[in-house]
Amino acid sequence: MFKSTPITSMTNAFDVSGKNVVITGGNRGIGKGITLAFAQSGANVAILCRNVESGKKTVAEIQQYGGRYTCIQCDISDYESVKAAAKEVFAFFDHVDVLINNAGVATTVPFLDKDGLKEWHRVINTDLHGVAYVIYEIAPSMRDKGLGGCIINISSVGGQRVSGSKDHHNAPYNVAKAGVDIFTRYLAIVLGDYGIRVNSIAPGPVHSDLDKDLPPSFIEKIEKDLPTHRFGEPIEVGAFCVYLASPAASQVTGCNYAFDGGLLCIT
């Protein structure tokens, strides 16, 4: 049974330097913010993404930080693609310390429309099944290496609220993210004996590639009513991930953290 070591001082409490980190969708949006945060903090990073050219540009951008970085083509909604990507991950890293499941998609199609079921499968296959596929292929090695580690699932406040659904239809996204939150708690239990902590972060309004899908009325409401009166930034989610992967969070597992500027307080 793996027992975590508590910190005894603030010296290196937030240190993640040298850790091997895998980030799905780490080439853009929130995922890129997470990639930048770990690279700037001295970690090694493997980005898994569909758009390899975009991923290579991100890798080139972080080379200045002096770690080991790579981009691996992967469509997380396709299990065979995930299996192939995992083999490449373990060819690049001898072990994985941190796995961050960030890649995801959304929809604006009402569920009962003619394309509603098609969109349901597309989103669920990525946002829920994709998370399961990646964990299924990466977590066993983390477990068997006996080095402990950390899994962070990027969920959403959309897994906890569906207000605004008449204007912003996203049913499969809401369902998938709610599933990720429960899956996170399950994994925290079954992987705890191996020193692997599992948490999820539930972003609210954060600037990303999904901004274009938000109705103007929602953006105006956020800026007016949100306690922080602004959207979050991807690097801020990255900073939260660095904390959860650091020694300072060694007693933190099975939690779902809202990162929403107070959105859940007002809806």
- Catalytic sites, residue numbers: 173
CA–CA dist 201, 181 (Å, integer): 9
CA–CA dist 83, 85 (Å, integer): 5
Phi, psi angle pair for 70, to nearest 5°: -155, 160
Conformation bin of residue 207: beta by default, left when phi > 0, alpha when psi is -120 to 50: beta
Contact residues for 95 (Cβ-Cβ < 8 A; gap 6+): 20, 141, 142, 145, 147
User: Amino acid identity, residue 101?
Assistant: N
